[in-house]
Amino acid sequence: MDNVTEIRLVADIGGTNIRIAQATKDNQLTHVSTYKCADYDELSDVLKLYIAEQKIRGKSLHACLAIACPTDEDWISMTNLPWAFSQTALEAELGLQSLYLINDYKAIAMSVPFLSDEQKCHIRGPLQGRANSTISICGPGTGLGVATLTPVTMQDNHFWHCINSEGGHIDFAPVDELDLIIFNYLDSRKPRISYEQLLSGYGLEQIYSAIVDYQNSIKGSHSSVHQAALSAAEISHNAITVKCGLCCLALQQFCKVLGSFSGNLALLNSSFGGIYIAGGIVPRFIEFLKQGDFGERFIAKGRLSHIAEQTPVFVITEPQPGLLGAAVFLNQEIN
């Protein structure tokens, strides 16, 4: 380390933990450390500690921080932490040669073209995405993240451009009878129904509640099917492990709706490079996803089904894609 004068710092900053690492020019991560955000008053405090622990103070430091909040203004106020700071002031305080802040979902998206076979799981379609083609990413989690990666070539330099979007908030369109039952249930309670209302942790809970409500309505108030609210984790666990009928039905419908939405992205963006599913929910039940009707709904696009059929689908299994994506972004900027 003493012979290295240029250091590339990357960090993935969540609401609970901050992970900091050093990146090589080919996006390999080294010297990874994890810190509890609650232990520090300011972001600069933990970054200074890492720099001191790694004995890299005085080196030429470039940094990219993936952070869970908007990053298009100089003043950053984190959504889930009491940290607020100026990007230019932070760069000066740490003595950085350059500083880039990107949204945490953009970091996840930037990691996708560089995932190994061990960091992703093939779900359907061709085993590999088409080279130099658009890639779409969606991630059911707390919400429904959506991003698009487009390959760009400028002066013989090849890189990826990430287009952030709020695609998770487009209008939900029912496809089958149970979709319509869920739609009607939500329509009586919500001013508007987006895909995020179904494809998120909260969304799985709402699907389950809609099914319970419908079952109760057809059986009558004196023979209620189930009234206890369940968390998304409980629903998926009960569907896979306990084989609870209602939970299985809820999770199956979640997978169907995800198939329709992912297939829509394939049409919208001509995503022959692949559809990648991120987030903390789907990796918990990959085999369940494979065995259900996800694939059938993915390709059910009428005259344009051939586009979806040619589009591979993967689930990201790498637990920390944000660090890798921050490294990719930083290297594209300074190489």
Q: Each residue's pLDDT tens digit in the chain (335 positions)?
A: 445 678 999 999 988 899 999 999 999 999 999 999 999 999 999 999 999 999 999 899 999 999 988 899 999 998 888 999 999 999 999 999 999 999 989 999 999 999 999 999 999 999 999 999 999 999 999 899 999 999 998 888 889 999 988 999 999 999 999 999 999 999 999 999 999 999 999 999 999 999 999 988 887 655 555 567 899 999 999 999 988 999 999 999 999 999 999 999 999 999 999 999 999 899 999 999 999 999 999 999 999 999 999 999 999 999 889 999 999 999 999 97
Residue 148 assigned to a binding site:
no
Please tell me the predicted confidence (pLDDT) of residue 226: 59
pLDDT on residue 94: 96
Both tokens of 223, joined, read: 């023979």
| pTM for this predicted structure | 0.90
Q: Where are the beta strands (DSSP E) in the chain?
A: 6-13, 17-23, 29-36, 60-67, 75-77, 84-86, 98-103, 120-124, 135-140, 144-154, 157-165, 274-277, 313-316
Q: Which residues contact 231 (CB under 8 A, 6 or more apart)?
A: 201, 205
Apex 128 CA angle, 126 and 133, nearest 5: 105
Q: How far apart are CA 140 and CA 238, in angstroms?
A: 19
The per-residue pLDDT for 219 is 72
What phi and psi values does residue 48 have, to the nearest 5 degrees?
Answer: -65, -40
In the chain, the N- to C-terminal Cα span, in Å, equals: 20
15 is in an annotated binding site: yes
pLDDT of residue 4: 63
Cβ-contact 74, 101 below 8 angstroms: no
* Residue 45 near residue 62 (C-beta atoms within 8 A): no
**CA count, 13 A, side-chain hemisphere, 266:** 32
Residue 266: what pLDDT? Answer: 97
Pick from 217, 214, 215, 189: nearest CA to 202? 189
Residue with tokens 């666990």: 237
Measured between alpha carbons, how far is 271 from 60 in angstroms, rounded to an integer?
Answer: 39
**DSSP H or E segment with residue 266:** helix 245-269
Longest dimension (CA), the chain: 77
Question: 3-state class of 234 per DSSP?
Answer: helix
pLDDT digits (tens, 9 = 90+) for 102-150: 998 999 999 999 999 999 999 999 999 999 999 999 999 989 999 999 9
Domain boundaries, the chain: 6-110+320-334, 116-317
**Are β-strands 84-86 and 75-77 bridged in parallel, bridged antiparallel, or unpaired?**
antiparallel
Q: What's residue 270's pLDDT?
A: 96
The domain 116-317 having CATH identifier 3.40.50.300: the answer here is no
245 is in an annotated binding site: no
Alpha-carbon distance 225 to 218, whole Å?
A: 10
The response to whether 156 counts as a known ligand-binding position is no
CA dihedral 63, 68, 69, 70 (to 10 degrees): 50
pLDDT at 1: 44
Residue in the block written with tokens 């930083």: 330
| Average pLDDT for the chain | 93
From 3.30.420.40, 1.10.1740.10, 2.40.30.10, 3.40.50.150, which CATH number describes the 6-110+320-334 domain? 3.30.420.40
Structure tokens at 265: 């992205």
